[in-house]
Amino acid sequence: MLNINYTFHWNQAFQALPQMIDGALITLQIAVLSMIIGIAIGVPLALAKQSSIAPLRWFANVWIEVARNTPALFQVYMIYFGIPAVLQLVAGLFGIDFRALGINIFYLDSYWAVLVGIAFNNAGYLAETFRGGLRAVPATQTRAARSLGFGAFDAFRLIVLPQMFRAVFHPMTNQMVWAILMTSVGIFVGLNIDLTGVTQELNARTFRTFEFFALAAAIYYVIAKIVTGGARLIAWRLFRY
Amino acid sequence: MLGTSVTWGDITFMMTGAGLTLAITFWAMLGGTLLGIVFGLIRSHSPWYVNYPMGAVLDVLRSVPLLIQFILFNSFQSIAGWGMNPFVVGCVVLAAYTSAFCTEIVRGGIQAVPVTTRRAARSLGMNWAQDMAYIVLPLGTRVMLPSWIGLTLGVMKDTALVYAIGVIELLRSSQIIITRKPHEALLILAIAGLIYFIVSFPVSRLGAHLEKKWREND
Amino acid sequence: MIEIDNVRKSFDSFEVLKGVSMAVEKGEVVSVIGGSGSGKSTMLMCINGLEPINAGKITVDGTEVHAKGTDLNKLRRNIGIVFQQWNAFPHLTVLENTTLALRKVLGKSKAEADEIAKKQLNHVGLGDKLKVYPGKLSGGQQQRMAIARALAMEPKYMLFDEVTSALDPQLVGEVLDTMRLLAKEGMTMIVVTHEMGFAREVSNRVAFFKDGLIHEIGSPSQLFESPERPETAAFLQSVL
C-alpha cells in the first residue's frame, strides 16, 4: 500500500525555519490584535443583546448570528470584497464613479481583511461568552454586597466582575487558539506574510509541499500549546478558589 | 437578474457548490461520528497508557489549522500514489478532524452520567452493554446531542476550507464568480451568506431548543 | 430603633406585605415565625432598602429608609444582614471576605481591617480559617463567616433571614450558638426563623406572620403557651 518513490527533503524546510518563525509572529500579532478588538466589541455587544432598545438588540443579534453561523472565511471575504464594494456604492450615491476616475479598488488590503474579519468573528463568539459569564454570577452576590453598604458600581467591580472573569477565562483562551488557527485562511485573500502565507510562498518556489506544511503544522501546534499552557498557568495563579 | 450582471447560470453554479458543501458535511459527520463513538468509548474505558497517547494524537488534530491538514494529507496521498480525488481527500480529512471533537463529546456524555446511577444499574444485574444501552445512552444523549448539533454546524462551516485542495464548494464558487464580476461582490456574497444561513440557522435553533427543553426537565 | 409602619409591598400583582407594623427597640431580640412565603423574608429586605415598598413607612433611628434623599449605602452600614444562602464571595478568602467592605466601604487601612476581621472571625470560631476559600468550608462555617462579615461593620442592628434553613441538621447548632452569643451581648436583632426552640429561648418578643400580615406579637411564653389567635395556635400545632 505504501510504495513511496519520493525523497523527503527536510533540510530545505529546516533552512526556511527563520522565515517561518517570522511568519508565525505575524500570525500571533493578528490573533492578539483581533482578540483585543473582539473583546472591546464583544462586551458592548453582549450588553446590547440584553438591551431594552429594540434596534440595539437587532444589531447585536445580526452580528452574533452571522459570526456564528457562517464560515470564518466568508466573514473575511465580506471584509475583503465587501468593504470596497460598500465604499463604491456610497461613492456612487454622491455621484462619484471610481471607474470613470480610473481607480479600481475591488479588494481591501489582505492583512486588514484578515484582521478585521477575525475580529468580527471573535466579537460575535465572545459576546455570547460574556453573556454566559454575566449569568454565571448569581444575583444574590450583588445583593449580599449591597447589604454591606457597597454602591452598585463597587459591587459590580469588586464582587461580580472577578467572578465573571473566571467564568469567561477558559472560553476566551479557546477563542484565542481559534483566532490563531483561523488566520490561516488569509491564504485565500493573498496574505503572504503570516505562517501559512510564508509557507505557501516557499512551497510555490520549491514544490516541497509536504515538508514545508508539516513544519508549519508543527509550529502551529507548538504555538497553540504555549497559549493553552500559559493560560492554564495564569488560571492556576489567578483562580486559587 | 435584479438588473445586475449576475445570471441564473451563476446562481446554479453556486447551488452546485452548496450541494457539494452539504455532501462533504454529510460524509465527514458520518465518518467522524462513527470514529468519535469508537474513540470516545475507548478513551472512557481504557487505562491511562492507552487513553493519554490517544488523547494527545486527537489533540493534534484540534491544534493545527484544518486548512493545513487538508494540504498535508492531499500532498501525502499524492506522494504515496493513492490517487484520491480532492472530494474524497476533503471527506477523509474532515472526518478525522470531526472525530477528534466527537470523541470529547462522547466522553463528556458518558462522564455526565453519575457513577452512582451506573452502579445502581449494575447492581440490578445489568451487564456492561445493557448499562450502556438503557442508562448511559439515554442520559448521555441529553448532554451530547446539543454539542453534536453544534459540531455539525461547525463542520459545515469548515467545509469552506476544502477550497485549498481544489474542491469547488459554495464559497469557492462564489469567489470564482466575484473574480469574473467584481462589481457584484456584495450581491454574490449576500447570496452565499444567505445559503449558509438558511441551512444553519434552523439547525442551531433546534440545538438551542433541545438544550433548553432538557435543562428545564432536570 | 426600627419602626415599620403599615408597610405594603407587591411583586407584580401579588401582594406580599399587606400592611405590616412592628417596632423593635434597641437591645431587643425579635423572632419572626410563620409558614414559607408568608412575607417574612421580604420584610427584612425592605428594612435595609434592598427592596422598595409600595406604601407605608420604615424608619431606622429616625431615618426614613425609602425616602428619596436617603443614602442607602450609609444606612446599610448600620444594619447587618445574613441570608439563608450564606452568599460568601467565592473568589475571596475568609479574611478577605470579611475585610473587603471594611476597607472599601469604611475606608479602613488593611492592618486595621485585618485586626477587626480577625477579632470577629475568632468570635464565631473561624480564627484558624483566615486563608481558606469559602468553597473549602462547610455550610455552617460559611454561614458563621457571613455573620462575622456583617458584624465586622459594627452594625447597630442585625437581621437574620432563615440562616439555618439551608444547613445540614448537625451544622445548625454551631450557627445558633453564635447567634445566642450575640443576643447575650445585647445586639439588636430581628431573626426570621423556623427554629422554634431558639425563638422561644433567645427572643424578647416573637411575631407570627401569615399571608403578609403580623397576626400576633408578644413574649415567647405568651405566644407559645397561650396564643390569642386561632391562626397562631394552628401554626404552632403544625410545627411543634
Helix (H) / strand (E) containing C34: strand C29-34
- Residues 52-111 of chain A whose Cβ lies under 8 A from any Cβ of chain B: 65-66, 68-74, 77-78, 81-82, 84-86, 88-89, 106
Closest-CA residue in chain C for A152?
A: C73
Closest-CA residue in chain A for B186?
A: A82
Cα(A35)–Cα(C215) distance, rounded to whole angstroms? 60
Q: Where is average pLDDT lowest: A144-148, B2-6, B20-24?
A: B2-6
Average pLDDT, stretch A167-190?
Answer: 94
Q: Residue B165 — φ and ψ, nearest 5°? A: -110, 15
Q: Which of C91, C133, C150 sits opposite A162 (nearest CB)?
A: C91
Distance from CA of C93 to the nearest CA of A (A): 8
- Residue B185 domain-assigned? no
pLDDT for res B216? 66
**To the nearest whole number, what is the mean pLDDT of chain C?**
90
Map out the domains of chain C with their CATH numbers: 2-86+157-239 (3.40.50.300)
Q: Residue C34 — φ and ψ, nearest 5°? A: 145, 170
Condensed to tens digits (0 to 9), the pLDDT of residues A82-140 reads: 888 888 778 778 877 766 666 666 778 899 999 999 999 999 999 999 999 988 899 89
User: Which of A89-93, B64-68, B170-174 shows the highest mean pLDDT?
Assistant: B64-68
Cα(A189)–Cα(A234) distance, rounded to whole angstroms? 35
Unique residue bearing C-alpha cell 400583582: C13
Q: Which chain B positions have a beta carbon within 8 Å of A185's beta carbon?
A: 67, 161
- Which of the two residues, A130 and B3, has the higher pLDDT score? A130
- Residue B120 domain-assigned? yes
**Contact of B72 with B96, CB cutoff 8 Å:** no
- Residue B58 domain-assigned? yes
pLDDT band at C172 (very low <50, low <70, confident <90, very high): confident
Condensed to tens digits (0 to 9), the pLDDT of residues C38-93 reads: 888 899 999 988 899 999 999 999 889 998 888 888 888 899 999 988 789 999 99
Neighboring chains of C (3 or more beta-carbon pairs < 8 A): A
With an 8 Å Cβ cutoff, is A136 touching chain C?
A: no
Q: Where is average pLDDT lowest: A79-83, B84-88, B128-132, C69-73?
A: B128-132
Average pLDDT, stretch C8-31?
Answer: 91
Share of chain C above pLDDT 70, in %: 100
Per the structure block, which three cell numbers stand in for B161? 476550507
Distance from CA of A159 to the nearest CA of C (A): 7
- Residue B44 domain-assigned? yes
Q: Which chain B positions have a beta carbon within 8 Å of A209's beta carbon?
A: 71, 75
**Contact of B156 with B62, CB cutoff 8 Å:** no
Cα(A32)–Cα(B41) distance, rounded to whole angstroms? 37
- Residue B193 domain-assigned? no
Q: Which of C50, C77, C104 sits opposite A143 (nearest CB)?
A: C50
Q: Is B touching A (3+ C-beta pairs, cut-off 8 A)? A: yes
- Residue B130 domain-assigned? yes
pLDDT for res B1? 43
pLDDT band at C116 (very low <50, low <70, confident <90, very high): very high
Report the CATH number at residue B72. Answer: 1.10.3720.10
Q: For residue B163, give its domain range.
A: 19-172
**Residue C39: left (phi > 0), alpha (psi -120 to 50), or beta?**
left
pLDDT band at B164 (very low <50, low <70, confident <90, very high): confident
- For the cut 70, the answer to whether the pLDDT of residue B29 exceeds it is yes
Distance from CA of C105 to the nearest CA of A (A): 6
Distance from CA of B60 to the nearest CA of A (A): 7
Domain count, chain B: 1
Average pLDDT, stretch C189-205?
Answer: 92
Distance from CA of A195 to the nearest CA of B (A): 11
Tell if the CB–CB gap between B185 and A106 is shorter than 8 Å.
Answer: yes
pLDDT for res C168? 83
Q: What is the ipTM of this complex?
A: 0.87
A202-210 contacts at long range (C-beta below 8 A, 24 or more positions apart): A202/A16, A202/A19, A202/A20, A206/A12, A208/A9, A208/A12, A208/A13, A209/B71, A209/B75, A210/A8, A210/B72, A210/B75, A210/B76, A210/B79
With an 8 Å Cβ cutoff, is A139 touching chain C?
A: no
Condensed to tens digits (0 to 9), the pLDDT of residues A209-241 reads: 899 999 999 999 999 999 999 999 999 888 877
Average pLDDT, stretch A162-186?
Answer: 93
Condensed to tens digits (0 to 9), the pLDDT of residues A18-32 reads: 999 999 999 999 999
pLDDT band at B140 (very low <50, low <70, confident <90, very high): confident
pLDDT for res A99? 65
Q: Where is average pLDDT lowest: A179-188, B180-189, C217-226?
A: B180-189
CATH classification (class only), A19-238: mainly alpha
Q: Which chain B positions have a beta carbon within 8 Å of A65's beta carbon?
A: 197, 201
Tell if the CB–CB gap between A151 and C73 is shorter than 8 Å.
Answer: yes
The pTM is what? 0.80
Share of chain C above pLDDT 90, in %: 58
